[in-house]
């Protein structure tokens, strides 16, 4: 190695060290799209750098020719590796099956074979000599015919890779365009110096400066591949996927900076993409700030939340982005404007409530009619019986009969008054069911001096459909009417225990009780058990009664919770 070539040799050796380090880093992240062919490229260009350095370091022609031949491995295969890397990165991997890659390697393999057998045919070099006209000696030669075949093929592959990158620039995301630009610039740093050398326009006479630029080019391409840490899908494929999602997609990094927005997010959040990317989420959108504030209160990494903002409702699906090492990379938000859905649900709930109230009024009217008919029939029979007793001058029986008629009339008056009040207030049952029920129990306690304790989680009451709420209230009402008429007690306990799909309601008193074996006979005598059982069956509930004489009564209703 002479004095003049020493600086260039060390520059080339340093360039090779950089490409080796890039290769090692790439191998550790080989799951990234395009990373594996980039690793192969770095190993190939390392051979180019060090082979070129050893060619310059040797002064004899045979040694220079040997290392020049070694470099042809890089000359021949580097364009193939570059094209495969760019093809995979730009989501054109279907064209790069193993068979197609082997097909692309046919000319490079023939080139290597011809290089090492050049003395037999001269298809690569002719008239080889040691050229000492420059600042350091190089191999002088005339290019053979196959060299031009190899060069044309190599630059056809390079041009195809460049065109694929340029084509990918048409995709909308500025973030991805920056990635592609970096890879395109790095590619040009390798292709252009080599093209100038082949055309005899190298800045250093008779010397290929391409290996000097290889380290710079490798760093630029690696920056483009790994800078944004979006390791799962290539930019082109990812953008096609994200753009097809109807919800507003927002990708945040671990510092909550905006990395990606799809068109739906731009429209929903009224953002300028160029202004928003790279900024913290709370700085670019009030809605994003409120979403992130809500997520701070949650410990789960994946899930969804609903957010009300003014007259608008939003559903946010959120998930954490985790890299291969299990480290948090950022967060993915998909935001849906569900205002119309909520309004439709509310209209449907109102319609369902109106239908339930209408059906209940029809039932109350029917029950009232049947009840009054029974009472009037009873009074008629009793009145006729009293006439007969009066004709016999049996005054004690007449007094007893009149007392029974008076009690039945008073009970009928109470029932009719409650029916009328219920019909008037039916529209309030589902508006605020818990308060409606509590107010009714307070009136009941005041009117009949029977204390009622209510212990039901409001969360489960909210999950009952309007139709079931109406029937639940009527069951409670009928059970309390039975307590008032028959139990002879001053306290009733109403409790409810729920799980994910059922609510167990228990109405219990410590009153007179009765023999449950007599239920078949009791059902027809006004205890209301049949009414409660029928209401339970109408809503798909399970109804049961437990009672013993002088030991109270326990009514249990197991209700289905609405989804």
Q: Please write the tens of the pLDDT for every residue from 521-541.
A: 554 444 567 778 888 888 888
More confident call, 368 vs 16: 16
Confidence band of 491 (pLDDT split at 50, 70, 90): very high
Which tokens belong to 340?
């119309």
Strands 542-547 and 502-509: unpaired
Any idea which residue has 């393999």 for tokens? 109
Listed residues 337, 358, 374: the one ending a domain: 337
The sign of the torsion formed by the CA atoms of 409, 415, 421, 423 equals negative
pLDDT, tens digit (0-9, with 9 covering 90-100), for 400-435: 777 777 777 776 776 666 666 655 555 556 557 788
Calculate the alpha carbon distances from 164 to 170, 185, 506 in Å.
11, 13, 72
User: Both 191 and 47 in a single domain?
Assistant: yes
- How far apart CA 85 and CA 221 sit, in angstroms, is 11
pLDDT value at 3 more than 50: no
Average pLDDT, stretch 436-453? 86
Confirm whether 20 is domain-assigned.
Answer: yes
Confirm whether 138 is domain-assigned.
Answer: yes
Confirm whether 231 is domain-assigned.
Answer: no
pTM attached to this predicted model:
0.47
User: Both 483 and 525 in a single domain?
Assistant: yes
3-state SS of 507-558 is EEECCCCCCHHHHHHHHHHCCCHHHHHHHHHHCCCEEEEEECCCCCEEEEEE
The sign of the torsion formed by the CA atoms of 354, 358, 364, 368 equals positive
What is the domain range of residue 25? 6-226
Residue 73's H or E segment, with its range, is: helix 61-89
CA–CA–CA angle 60, 48, 67 (5° rounding): 20
Confidence band of 108 (pLDDT split at 50, 70, 90): very high
Q: Which residues contact 329 (CB under 8 A, 6 or more apart)?
A: 229, 253, 254, 321, 322, 323
User: Both 99 and 33 in a single domain?
Assistant: yes
pLDDT value at 367 more than 90: no
Min mean pLDDT across 272-276, 445-449, 502-506, 517-521 is at 517-521
Contact (Cβ atoms closer than 8 angstroms) between residue 78 and residue 39: no
Using CA atoms of 175, 180, 181, 182 in order, give the dihedral in degrees to the nearest 10.
100
Which tokens belong to 396?
């004690």
pLDDT, tens digit (0-9, with 9 covering 90-100), for 218-276: 777 677 666 654 434 445 445 555 666 668 888 887 778 887 777 788 778 887 776 77
DSSP state of 257: B
Angle, in degrees to the nearest 10, between helices 35-57 and 61-89: 160
Return the CATH number at 31: 1.20.1070.10
Confidence band of 506 (pLDDT split at 50, 70, 90): very high
User: Both 76 and 152 in a single domain?
Assistant: yes
| % of the chain at pLDDT higher than 70 | 77
User: Both 437 and 548 in a single domain?
Assistant: yes
User: Both 171 and 315 in a single domain?
Assistant: no
pLDDT value at 508 more than 50: yes
Name the domain count of the chain.
4
């Amino acid at each position: 190695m002479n004095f003049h070539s020493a600086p260039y040799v060390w520059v080339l050796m340093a360039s090779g060290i950089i490409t080796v380090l890039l290769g090692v880093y790439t191998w550790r992240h080989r799951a990234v799209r395009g990373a594996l062919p980039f690793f192969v490229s770095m190993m190939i260009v390392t051979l180019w750098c060090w082979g070129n350095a050893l060619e310059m370091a040797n002064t004899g022609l045979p040694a220079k020719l040997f290392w020049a031949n070694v470099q042809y491995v890089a000359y021949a295969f580097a364009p193939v590796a570059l094209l495969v890397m760019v093809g995979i990165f730009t989501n054109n991997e279907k064209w790069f099956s193993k068979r197609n890659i082997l097909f692309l390697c046919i000319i490079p393999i023939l080139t290597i074979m011809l290089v090492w057998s050049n003395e037999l045919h001269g298809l690569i070099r002719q008239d080889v000599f040691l050229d000492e006209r420059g600042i350091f000696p190089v191999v002088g030669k005339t290019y053979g015919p196959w060299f031009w075949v190899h060069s044309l093929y190599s630059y056809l592959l390079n041009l195809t890779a460049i065109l694929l990158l340029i084509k990918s620039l048409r995709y909308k995301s500025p973030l991805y365009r920056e990635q592609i630009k970096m890879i395109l610039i790095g590619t040009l740093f390798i292709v252009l110096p080599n093209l100038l050398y082949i055309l005899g326009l190298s800045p250093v006479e008779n010397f290929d400066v391409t290996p000097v630029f290889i380290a710079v080019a490798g760093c630029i391409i690696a920056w483009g591949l790994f800078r944004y840490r979006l390791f799962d899908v290539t930019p082109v494929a990812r953008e096609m996927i994200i753009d097809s999602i109807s919800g507003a997609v927002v990708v945040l990094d671990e510092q909550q900076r905006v990395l990606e927005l799809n068109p739906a997010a731009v429209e929903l959040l009224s953002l300028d993409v160029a202004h928003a990317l790279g900024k913290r989420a709370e700085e670019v959108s009030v809605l994003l700030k409120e979403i992130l504030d809500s997520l701070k209160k949650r410990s789960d990494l994946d899930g969804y939340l609903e957010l009300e903002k003014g007259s608008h409702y939003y559903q946010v699906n959120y998930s954490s982005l985790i890299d291969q090492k299990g480290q948090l990379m950022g967060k993915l938000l998909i935001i849906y404007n569900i205002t119309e859905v909520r309004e439709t649900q509310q209209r449907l709930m109102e319609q369902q409530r109106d239908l339930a109230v209408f059906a209940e009024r029809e039932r109350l009217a029917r029950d009232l009619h049947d009840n009054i008919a029974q009472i009037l029939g009873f009074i008629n029979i009793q009145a006729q019986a009293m006439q007969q007793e009066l004709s016999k001058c049996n005054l004690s029986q007449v007094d007893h009969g009149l007392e029974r008629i008076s009690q039945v009339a008073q009970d009928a008056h109470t029932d009719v008054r409650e029916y009328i009040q219920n019909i008037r207030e039916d529209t309030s049952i589902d508006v605020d069911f818990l308060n409606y029920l509590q107010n009714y129990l307070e009136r009941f306690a005041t009117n009949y001096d029977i204390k009622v304790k209510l212990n039901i989680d409001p969360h489960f009451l909210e999950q009952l459909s309007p139709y079931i709420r109406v029937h639940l209230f009527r069951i409670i009402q009928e059970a309390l009417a039975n307590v008032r008429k028959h139990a002879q007690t001053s306290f009733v306990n109403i409790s409810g225990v729920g799980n994910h799909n059922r609510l167990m309601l228990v109405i219990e008193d410590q009153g007179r009780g009765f023999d449950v074996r007599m239920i078949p006979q009791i059902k027809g005598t006004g205890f209301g058990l049949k009414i409660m059982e029928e209401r339970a069956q109408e809503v798909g509930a399970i109804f049961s009664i437990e009672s013993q004489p002088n030991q109270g009564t326990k009514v249990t209703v197991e209700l289905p919770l609405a989804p």
